[in-house]
Chain A
């Protein structure tokens, strides 16, 4: 959730969605630019795989541009977009289960070698040690997320990282709000147990972070 204020404003701009629905390719392009990072990060946290996340993100936006005209309520654009992304994530997850080959992204640690990105990042001027610990913790938490079931993981990512309301998540997943809350509860409980196994709690990290 690192959007700038203008970006947030744009996300909620109904006029942009209206223009995009009317076939304005410029507006569609702007929508893609605004939401690309969110959908990519949602997919990335779902798979922890750059290639799969890119695939899902691109397919989501292609689908968005094609089917935007069919969107009835503009206020539900966000949940509608995540619904498309979740469906593609589930499709890719099914394919991945059938395909036992390793993604190139798993073998090649892109982060470790991509120094220009690091240099341009805002963390460049931070303390390298705490930066390393942050990255390590981020990896551990993402791996812990992978151990959850797909249903729990979807809800946790949407709620914790994408900031959707429970109502919006329920709309995106086409289930009741209570079901979403239950999945969230058990997702957090599951994560708690996984992190306890790895001896990672707020107390143990308090000294370091």
Chain B
């Protein structure tokens, strides 16, 4: 008994596709080998579990089959892709044509330009053979020329300054001399006359001043005296009123005092009069 069922037989048995002798042989084998039977039952249980998966409901849509074979060519995916690329290229070329796009690669330079390119004239410097000595010489020449110009300017300005100072000195000294000379020519008599006129003017001024001030002082003193007299009168009236008030007060006080003493006396008298009978009772 070296029989052992293979996977194919087990599957055929599971789904009822094993018949006749083969089925009987396997049944017998299962009876003799419960562990294989158990293994088989595991697979059977999985199969039974799978029956829990339910079908999904779906409604069949109407199917229209087009027999026109020509459409298959147009539906070929490669043709679509190629047509798409070609259309894109034509579109790009058209746009480039309209916008005048130019693409160029030159001297490590990638250039994309639109429209007609402008010709730019670049001024190229003339080639001249210049050596270091030439350059040094030119520098020296220009420096010398510059120094000469500076010296000449400095000289000119120096001369102009000197001449202007001289002319100013001349004019000022002449004026001073003239003033001194005029002052020295004034005579003694003229001076005396000038002093006398000054004295006379001063005297007149002082007299006028005193006249004016004397009138004003008189008016001021009169006013002052009147005010003082008014003040004294007022003071006297006030004092009199004060004395009057004091006297009145004194008078009132004395009358009050009189009344009080009278009242006290009457009280004393009345109390003395009342106390005598009580003493008698004792």
> Is the Cβ of A202 less than 8 Å from the Cβ of B53?
no
Q: How far is the CA of A159 from the CA of B43 in the complex (A)?
A: 14
> Is the Cβ of A201 less than 8 Å from the Cβ of B53?
no
- Count of B residues near A, CB < 8 Å? 29
Interface members, chain A 117-172 (any B CB < 8 Å): 117, 121, 134, 137-138, 141-142, 156, 159-161, 165-166
Nearest opposing residue in chain B for A190, CB measure: B46
Q: How far is the CA of A159 from the CA of B12 in the complex (A)?
A: 11
**Interface 9-residue window, one of B54-62, B172-180, B269-277:** B54-62
**Interface 9-residue window, one of B3-11, B153-161, B228-236, B247-255:** B3-11
Residue B32 at the chain A interface, CB threshold 8 Å: no
Nearest opposing residue in chain A for B10, CB measure: A185
Q: How many pairs of A and B residues are in contact by the CB < 8 Å rule?
A: 95
> Is the Cβ of A195 less than 8 Å from the Cβ of B63?
no
Q: Decide: A62 near B50, CB < 8 A? Known: A181-B8, A188-B43.
A: no
Interface members, chain B 190-244 (any A CB < 8 Å): none
Nearest opposing residue in chain B for A44, CB measure: B56
Residue A36 at the chain B interface, CB threshold 8 Å: yes
> What range describes how many residues of A lie at the interface?
35 or more
Q: Which residues of B contact A201 (CB under 8 A)?
A: 45, 49
Contact of A29 among B46, B55, B57, B62 (CB under 8 A): B62
Q: How far is the CA of A165 from the CA of B12 in the complex (A)?
A: 10
> Is the Cβ of B52 less than 8 Å from the Cβ of A134?
yes
Q: Which residues of A contact B55 (CB under 8 A)?
A: 1-2, 37, 41, 161
The secondary-structure label for the interface of chain B is: loop
Contact of A65 among B47, B50, B63 (CB under 8 A): B63
For residue A99, give the distance in angstroms from its CB to the closest CB of chain B.
15
> Is the Cβ of B11 less than 8 Å from the Cβ of A181?
yes
> Is the Cβ of B12 less than 8 Å from the Cβ of A166?
yes
Residue A33 at the chain B interface, CB threshold 8 Å: yes
For residue B33, give the distance in angstroms from its CB to the closest CB of chain A.
17
Contact of B63 among A32, A184, A202 (CB under 8 A): A32
Q: How far is the CA of A119 from the CA of B8 in the complex (A)?
A: 43
6 pairs, A vs B, C-beta closer than 8 Å: A32-B63, A156-B50, A159-B15, A185-B10, A185-B43, A191-B46
CB within 8 Å of B: which residues of A?
A: 1-2, 25, 28-29, 32-33, 36-37, 40-41, 44-45, 57-58, 61-62, 65-66, 117, 121, 134, 137-138, 141-142, 156, 159-161, 165-166, 177-178, 181-182, 184-186, 188-189, 191-192, 195, 200-202, 205, 209
